[in-house]
Structure 1
């Protein structure tokens, strides 16, 4: 069942901070079904963008810990990310804006949390 409220979205790098945020969510009672890590993978896009391939494939950061058991992990191209964000409760325009920003910044993934309460994890600066 999809919630009527918008999910919380945080830009991330696939690194220790992401693993720490997921651990904090799990410790606060959030389950795997409420937590999604959406990683943009330019190899799965139709366009061949050398700069993005270099940025995401050659210098891929490693997250510490077993994230797969604590959150859903989605690794795909732009169109698939937009579709997944819409399924998680965002509008088509919101999803497109987030994917575009993800592609234009040095972030590599989005952390999406359904019904986030309190200040369990730190917001982006």
Structure 2
């Protein structure tokens, strides 16, 4: 089901801050159907880029908590990531821009929240 409003999107690293944001959203009453963690996985794109392998593979376990029980977790390559973002209510251009920024920065995932109404989590700087 696509919401009439755009979902809130925040760039993240897969770490304790992400787990903290997901916990805060759950505590505020958001359920797992409204919270998505979308991780870009270059291995699923069959990438041979060594720096991307180390950037995304070796630091993957640094998140704490069981966020997979509090949010939907999606770990896939660029095309599938764009498709999932579209299903969550973003345009093709927005999806492409978000995935491109993930690929070009130190961020490893996106936190997507449907109908975020309060300042529950800190915005990116």
What TM-score bracket applies, with the shorter chain setting the length?
over 0.9
Listed as ranges, the gaps of 5+ residues in structure 2 are none
Listed as ranges, the gaps of 5+ residues in structure 1 are none
2:59, 2:112 → 1: CA distance? 23
With 45-54 and 75-84 compared, the bigger mean Cα shift is at 45-54
Aligned length: 125
Which residue does 2:25 correspond to in 1? 25
Deviation at 1:2, TM superposition (A): 1.5
1:71, 1:15 → 2: CA distance? 15
Deviation at 1:61, TM superposition (A): 4.6
1:4, 1:50 → 2: CA distance? 41
Deviations 1:74-94 (A, max 9, x none): 000011000000000000000
2:93, 2:101 → 1: CA distance? 12
- Per the normalisation by structure 2, the TM-score is 0.96
RMSD across aligned positions (CA): 1.0
Q: How does 1:91-110 map to 2 (within 5 A)?
A: 91-110=91-110
1:49, 1:112 → 2: CA distance? 27
1:59, 1:31 → 2: CA distance? 27
Q: Secondary structure at the match of 1:65?
A: coil
